[in-house]
Amino acid sequence: MEPLVGVLTSFGEIASTWWCLIASPEGDGRVPGPTDERLVGVLAGADAQVVRDILRERRGEFVVTAPDEIPAEISELLPEGAEWVESQVFNKEATGALYDGRFYFDKKTNRVLFDCSNPVHKDGLPSNVVVG
């Protein structure tokens, strides 16, 4: 979980998280370079109040949405009957505009589903995330 701490800093201390890292397929015909990575997972903060506060303080920014193209390994871990909301403004702030990332909040369980491409630490260092 340690590699995620520097990437997912908006949620305070993380109590638990499940994630998968998806690398772009080898031999995709692109010029050699950095491998695109997609990090998808769900987290629970050590203090659920952090998520509740974000939702309350920024309620006008969030819209009801449904996450799509979530890997089966993560989909089966999502809370049943979740009420997902997302804020484009929050997404940009949470990523520091350094990478693409979407954060879906479940208003019932205060869990957060994250779906990020090529995530980096807020200080700009690569995340070096491992599947966990």
The residue ranking higher by pLDDT, 103 or 31, is 103
Q: How confident is the model at residue 6 (pLDDT cuts 50, 70, 90)?
A: low
Other beta carbons within 10 Å of 35: 12
The 10 Å CB-count burial string (b at 16+, else e) for 95-105 is bbeeeebbbbb
Q: What percent of the chain has pLDDT over 90?
A: 52
pLDDT of residue 14 exceeding 50, the answer is yes
Average pLDDT over residues 109-132: 72
User: What integer pLDDT is reported at residue 7 of this predicted model?
Assistant: 75
**What are the tens digits of pLDDT across the range 22-58?**
887 665 555 555 568 899 999 998 999 999 999 999 9
The 10 Å CB-count burial string (b at 16+, else e) for 44-68 is bbeeeebbeebbeeeeebbeeeebe
Give the predicted TM-score (pTM) of the model: 0.82
